[in-house]
A and B are shown apart, each in its own frame.
Chain A
């Protein structure tokens, strides 16, 4: 039965994709293309493009997209529920343990060391978005034609709005998008 297959296939993806985002992609491929043939390779490439262009985690995008294509909205619901069930259980247990034991000195020591690591991981995520947007070939080389000047300007303007005038992040993000639409219409 397709609904159960969707549910269990995405439950496996949810249970084993440690590290979020791109860690889930090989798992999605193995279930959705290789095992069940719900998508072709070309469909999957489209799915990745959509996932990058739209809000939300890629795994949820994949579950909704595949569910809709194979079995309509009920299919999308089954796939998405299957996907988020394992993380709900794991993260709740960890959150409970954190609440219960966070004042132990060993836990304190571990958490204190983890904080700088988390900052480093977030910085990596930010640079992985920024650098391909600024440099056409995806590497940091300031050659003419490789640097997307408009993106640099939006980035610096956004930073100024956030740091100096404390404008809310969502307004800044949407503002950058609208600015690019207007500039591209004017400059062609």
Chain B
């Protein structure tokens, strides 16, 4: 992690800019791409920290892509990191939408653009499913049945019952707090941080 600040900032800006330009289909896509970049490729952030950051991004108001850029920028380079990564995340949609607002009717009916976007949807889903697969294996490695149950319940609540993600996160946080409290009472010596 001992790299000079300007190198990190430049890398941060171009990564968020590049990823944001290709993020079709919502905030989680950019989060999975940021994970690929900063966890798998650059190794600047570890996988568990990344999941914590997604929870933070999800718990703040506003677009998840912007929040994700903020927490990663802050983690890697403090406040200058936030400015750089938010700018990188915002510029591509800003430019795209400004251009499109001038040429909307031609854009909407363009044959090539329609097919390009429909094909890219399949690719986007494959990227997300692949990243989720890795993350699930990460959770499974804990060999903790309760955590597996949390994962299944959260999925059912979000996907089938369509419960707002914020409530699911708050409920899980409360569960984690209670569980830690009970464990600390049962094993007072293991109560400290690992």
Distance between Cα atoms of A86 and B117 in the complex (Å):
31
Q: Which of B70, B131, B165 contacts A87 (CB 8 A)?
A: B70
B81 to chain A, nearest CB (A): 10
Minimum CB distance partner of B182 in chain A: A109
Neighbouring A residues of B152 by C-beta, 8 Å: 120
A20-B63, A46-B104, A159-B130 known; A56+B20 contact, CB < 8 A: yes
Whether B130 contacts A114 by the Cβ 8 Å rule is no
B123 to chain A, nearest CB (A): 3
Whether A102 contacts B52 by the Cβ 8 Å rule is yes
Neighbouring B residues of A52 by C-beta, 8 Å: 25
Distance between Cα atoms of A112 and B143 in the complex (Å):
13
Distance between Cα atoms of A55 and B96 in the complex (Å):
8
Distance between Cα atoms of A95 and B172 in the complex (Å):
19
Minimum CB distance partner of B41 in chain A: A168
Q: Which of A15, A92, A115 contacts B52 (CB 8 A)?
A: A115
Q: B86 on the interface (CB 8 Å rule)?
A: yes
Neighbouring A residues of B27 by C-beta, 8 Å: 20-21, 57, 125
Whether A118 contacts B74 by the Cβ 8 Å rule is no
Neighbouring A residues of B19 by C-beta, 8 Å: 170
Q: Interface digits, B140-161 against A, CB 8 Å rule (1 contact, 0 not)?
A: 0010000110111011001100
Q: A24 on the interface (CB 8 Å rule)?
A: yes
Interface size on A, residues (CB 8 A): 95
Distance between Cα atoms of A130 and B115 in the complex (Å):
16
Neighbouring A residues of B33 by C-beta, 8 Å: 169-170
Distance between Cα atoms of A183 and B175 in the complex (Å):
50
Q: B14 on the interface (CB 8 Å rule)?
A: no
A95-B70, A95-B75 known; A90+B61 contact, CB < 8 A: yes
Neighbouring A residues of B9 by C-beta, 8 Å: none
Whether B132 contacts A92 by the Cβ 8 Å rule is no
A117-B55, A158-B123 known; A110+B180 contact, CB < 8 A: yes
Neighbouring A residues of B142 by C-beta, 8 Å: 112
Whether B55 contacts A126 by the Cβ 8 Å rule is no
Q: A127 on the interface (CB 8 Å rule)?
A: yes
Q: A162 on the interface (CB 8 Å rule)?
A: yes
Neighbouring A residues of B151 by C-beta, 8 Å: 116-117, 119-120
B152 to chain A, nearest CB (A): 8
Q: Give the residues from 71 to 128 in chain A that come closer than 8 angstroms, CB to CB, to chain B.
A: 73, 76, 80, 83-84, 86-88, 90-92, 94-96, 98-99, 102-106, 108-128
Whether B116 contacts A84 by the Cβ 8 Å rule is no
Whether B36 contacts A169 by the Cβ 8 Å rule is yes
Neighbouring A residues of B184 by C-beta, 8 Å: 105
Whether B24 contacts A54 by the Cβ 8 Å rule is yes
Distance between Cα atoms of A113 and B145 in the complex (Å):
12
Neighbouring A residues of B148 by C-beta, 8 Å: 116
Q: Which of B66, B93, B135, B150 contacts A113 (CB 8 A)?
A: B150
Q: Which of B56, B64, B172 contacts A21 (CB 8 A)?
A: B64
Q: A184 on the interface (CB 8 Å rule)?
A: yes
Neighbouring A residues of B23 by C-beta, 8 Å: 55-56
Q: A2 on the interface (CB 8 Å rule)?
A: no
Q: Which residues of A contact B (CB under 8 A)?
A: 14-21, 23-24, 46, 49-50, 52-61, 64-65, 68-69, 73, 76, 80, 83-84, 86-88, 90-92, 94-96, 98-99, 102-106, 108-130, 133, 151-152, 154-156, 158-159, 162-163, 168-170, 172-181, 184
